[in-house]
């Protein structure tokens, strides 16, 4: 599993992020507090508290291209 922390501040960020993650066939979850949602679900993402960074869990060990695709949303 690959983990990262992402920040999705605006509606367009969420739409663009979902379009990127939809390209990948492995499961990707976003975790905020005790809530976990499918990162491919726009409605699920909007149910999270987007005012702070969110933990991303990609269920794959080969995520190099995926991480580079979402690099603009990753919080260092």
According to the model, what pLDDT value does residue 59 have? Answer: 96
Q: What is the pTM of this model?
A: 0.90
Phi, psi of 29 (to 5 degrees): -115, 150
**R_g (Cα) of the chain, nearest Å:** 11
According to the model, what pLDDT value does residue 76 have? Answer: 77
According to the model, what pLDDT value does residue 47 have? Answer: 95
User: Which CATH number fits the domain 2-73, given the four candidates 3.40.605.10, 3.30.420.40, 3.30.1340.10, 3.50.50.60?
Assistant: 3.30.1340.10
Task: List, run by run, the mean pLDDT of 10-residue segments along the chain (76 residues).
Answer: 95 96 96 96 96 96 94 93
Distance (Å, whole) CA 54 – CA 30: 6
State in Å, rounded, how far the first CA of the chain is from the last one: 18
Element (H, E) at 46: helix 42-46
């Amino acid at each position: 599993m690959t983990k990262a922390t992402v920040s999705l501040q605006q509606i367009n960020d969420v739409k663009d992020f979902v379009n990127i993650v939809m390209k990948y066939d492995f499961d990707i979850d976003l975790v905020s507090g005790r809530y976990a949602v499918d990162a491919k679900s726009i409605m699920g993402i909007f149910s999270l508290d987007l005012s702070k960074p969110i933990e991303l869990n990609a269920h794959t060990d080969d995520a190099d291209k995926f991480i580079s695709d979402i690099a603009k949303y990753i919080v260092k």
